[in-house]
Structure 1
């Protein structure tokens, strides 16, 4: 496996931030998680107080999956949603506009020709769709690494950001994520499969059966993250994994979104131990696989709003909370200055 040099957040800045927080005009620890986040940001930026979070960027990794038949929506929705993102009318784009974040869409594996969309959208495309993981590999040999490198390149292109948010769009992606989390953590299908786009009853049973079949088919291939991605993952998941690794190598804070980015984070941590120190969990999704992934990563979600849209929408909602943490440590008065 490749080796990555992951920097360590500044421990001295973290300690100095905690000392500064204890000296503000408030009871000790009274601002709870905001204080923890302020110290985390100080360590990430290497300075107290941390810099304002003015430049927040969302990258939505789009791709189709061969298991999309298990979804409540047809796979054609993926391509249609790319155009909605570009028009600025998707959930994440309207929420991002509210907090001043920019949204970029990267077509990694959408099953269409991409006619009429900007070249930036398709610049890192790897393939059209992916295999049905219950009966075949998701990717051809070498494609997982190709997509991983595409994600790294995208992170490099967005390296001026104060915070990066990985988003996702792809019908069937919660099925893929359930399979990858189960393969990564040694869990049975029944414990990781969730409702995704809203399936229930027999449809949920079929989804669970697909994940179980995928795990049986890929048994013995879980040790190598790239093999996991090839067997039961997808190109857009591999690209998101590369994006997270590259952001960590550059010391860029990342707000993870829901199940998709949490799954990529498990893979990225396996490839680049220590990278998880540069990530925060933006929100808790309703997918059980995300809970397992975040526990394995040692991350606690900032928000819990019952969201399951994906796209980066939940993480974007955590941006105001991060900004609140930054302004508290930067602008609150100090006890020592009271007359």
Structure 2
């Protein structure tokens, strides 16, 4: 038995309960682990193979893998051969029972095999964690094969629970200890691995002075959408496992198009909302209602990071620090716009990153830390009742780094997307721009043979600020929190986040095209349609806040406007959808019309004939100017018609 008083543990749980991730956390402190895979078959099932691959990607490279699917009895042999300093993780016993019941092994004494496995676990001197599905809560299968499987697996679970030191039951990623509760909790890694960079600071929350009346609280429909449970995500040591292929929620697929279709019928005097329809459709899809409400509670996440080397050419670190300090004091353009929008600002300063042209700017643990911190910041915004997140950035070298990340992800030409260096006073510094181009070129040349996964890009090029922004987008999607993007860092983070979870882009809205090619091309790759073409250049985050009042107005108009009454004639429509119309008392519809004659036809139908009003002249007016399509002069009735040649007919 180990120093923490347990040597063997059985982890039970349903499908997608997080049992495997919890079991992996129990052995995370081991220097090496022998992972025993029991899966049988599935070679012709792509989805099953994807599941296996996802498990494989999650394992550290120091782990070794042994497969027992072909011979279930080998599992007991492995346990018997294990040494006291070994650590084994068996995942899972459902696969082991499937192999046990293979028709090719029948007839066979399956109960004897279960007893042998239990004896091997009891006698094993190594640390062993076994994962098994819990089938006791499901319905009794309707087929003999299904009943045989559940019976055998239930017997196996009961036998192993008897001999194991500890037994845990995992539900929705939360473990409950069923046995061994008097022992200390099993070791589990921190949600965030110890970073190599400096200790991550907590964000500084700023509430700018509101220069206009505060917006109303979030409507009940929006609040309910934010509070509903998210997908069940893999959990490691109490934290979400941020890995490629994450399954995050999607906005509602029908309410957005339905809201767009509804706008055509609203009682607008003109053609409607124009390009602002994109904002209404986005709000409807993310709020999951055909009649969305304007965003009422906004948080701005301002990430301040700096990059060394050629990427920072032309940037003034002191000026960037001044702007961040202004925001922290509630001053400056960003703070003023946030105050007008009734938004608060969470300011986060991250550790500086090295030159992208020299080598990786982060190590793997630091990437994990930054991703999870961004995730937690998005969750904090949702927990605080915010219904919209605005991603903002102020830093040194961020434009060049965002261009390098975008080029690495999309394959675009860095020179074509790298923004020019703008000096105070409106002058361009082309020499600094060329130094940035060289840095981006060298960085991309350095990683030409490296892996291009999302985390690899953040490690080699992105830095902590881009990693935090990426994690914030992932966390926002997990909590169904919509995000406004409008600058290089946000777009680059969106491109990286898309490779971790494709659902992220559907929770992002681009308010304005801006003036940067990097933003326009990146948004095109992401599939984001800009709502406006204002070409704002107020700074990342400030652009979105400047456009936010117009977006709110569009969503509010779409919610308040009623359907045009002419489109509702003869339809049973609720009164609240009708536009109010004042009708004089003497013109109430339904009163009899003088002179009207009702005729009954043979088929039973009736025809109502209404005489013309004698005071109304229904004759065609004489045109004054362009009129009839003919060019012939109007004949005078007093003038005899001249003889005209008569067309000949056959036979004449």
Q: Residue 182 in 1 paired to residue 420 in 2?
A: no
**Whole-angstrom distance in 2 between the partners of 1:197 and 1:225:** 30
Give 2:520's match in structure 1, choosing from 291, 295, 319: 291
Contact between 1:68 and 1:171, CA under 8 Å: does it hold in 2? no
Residue 292 of structure 2 is matched in structure 1 by 50
Between stretches 92-101 and 7-16, larger displacement belongs to 7-16
Higher relative contact order (CA 8 A, sep 6+): 1
Q: Secondary structure at the match of 1:170?
A: strand
Contact between 1:147 and 1:238, CA under 8 Å: does it hold in 2? yes
Q: Where do residues 213-228 of structure 1 align in structure 2 (5 Å cutoff)?
A: 213-221=442-450, 223-228=452-457
Residues 285-319 of structure 1 deviation map (CA, whole Å, 9 limit, x = unaligned):
33322122111011122233333443411111221
Residue 169 of structure 1 is matched in structure 2 by 394
Residue 157 of structure 1 is matched in structure 2 by 380
Q: Secondary structure at the match of 1:148?
A: helix
Residue 38 of structure 1 is matched in structure 2 by 280
Contact between 2:310 and 2:436, CA under 8 Å: does it hold in 1? no
What is the CA distance between 1:68 and its match in structure 2?
6.5
Q: Residue 143 in 1 paired to residue 385 in 2?
A: no
Residue 560 of structure 2 is matched in structure 1 by 331
Contact between 1:68 and 1:75, CA under 8 Å: does it hold in 2? no
Q: Which has the larger radius of gyration?
A: 2
Q: Residue 259 in 1 paired to residue 501 in 2?
A: no
Instruction: Please state which structure has a larger fraction of its residues in helix.
Output: 1
**Whole-angstrom distance in 2 between the partners of 1:88 and 1:155:** 21
Give 2:536's match in structure 1, choosing from 294, 304, 307: 307
**Whole-angstrom distance in 2 between the partners of 1:131 and 1:327:** 46
What is the CA distance between 1:23 and its match in structure 2?
1.9
Q: Residue 100 in 1 paired to residue 333 in 2?
A: no
Contact between 2:278 and 2:531, CA under 8 Å: does it hold in 1? no
Contact between 1:302 and 1:318, CA under 8 Å: does it hold in 2? no
C-alpha distance 303-14 of structure 1, shift in aligned 2 (>3 A):
closer
Give 2:321's match in structure 1, choosing from 74, 79, 87: 79
**Whole-angstrom distance in 2 between the partners of 1:229 and 1:306:** 29
Q: Residue 191 in 1 paired to residue 416 in 2?
A: yes
**Whole-angstrom distance in 1 between the partners of 2:331 and 2:545:** 15
Residue 466 of structure 2 is matched in structure 1 by 237
Residue 119 of structure 1 is matched in structure 2 by none
Matched positions, count? 320
Residues 38-78 of structure 1 deviation map (CA, whole Å, 9 limit, x = unaligned):
12211110123213311011010111111367443332333
Q: Residue 280 in 1 paired to residue 509 in 2?
A: yes
Q: Secondary structure at the match of 2:502?
A: coil
Contact between 1:259 and 1:290, CA under 8 Å: does it hold in 2? yes
Q: Secondary structure at the match of 1:30?
A: coil
**What root-mean-square deviation, in Å, do the aligned CA atoms of Structure 1 and Structure 2 show?**
2.0
**Whole-angstrom distance in 2 between the partners of 1:147 and 1:221:** 21
C-alpha distance 22-305 of structure 1, shift in aligned 2 (>3 A):
closer
Instruction: Please state which structure has a larger fraction of its residues in strand.
Output: 2
Contact between 1:8 and 1:277, CA under 8 Å: does it hold in 2? yes
Q: Residue 249 in 1 paired to residue 491 in 2?
A: no
C-alpha distance 186-82 of structure 1, shift in aligned 2 (>3 A):
same
Residue 258 of structure 2 is matched in structure 1 by 16
**Whole-angstrom distance in 2 between the partners of 1:29 and 1:286:** 28
Q: Secondary structure at the match of 1:11?
A: coil
**Whole-angstrom distance in 2 between the partners of 1:68 and 1:262:** 21
Residue 355 of structure 2 is matched in structure 1 by 132
Contact between 2:248 and 2:501, CA under 8 Å: does it hold in 1? yes
What is the CA distance between 1:281 and its match in structure 2?
0.7
**Whole-angstrom distance in 1 between the partners of 2:311 and 2:563:** 58
Superposition TM-score, scaled by structure 1 size? 0.88
Q: Secondary structure at the match of 1:274?
A: helix
Residues 227-265 of structure 1 deviation map (CA, whole Å, 9 limit, x = unaligned):
111111110110000101111111111110211101111
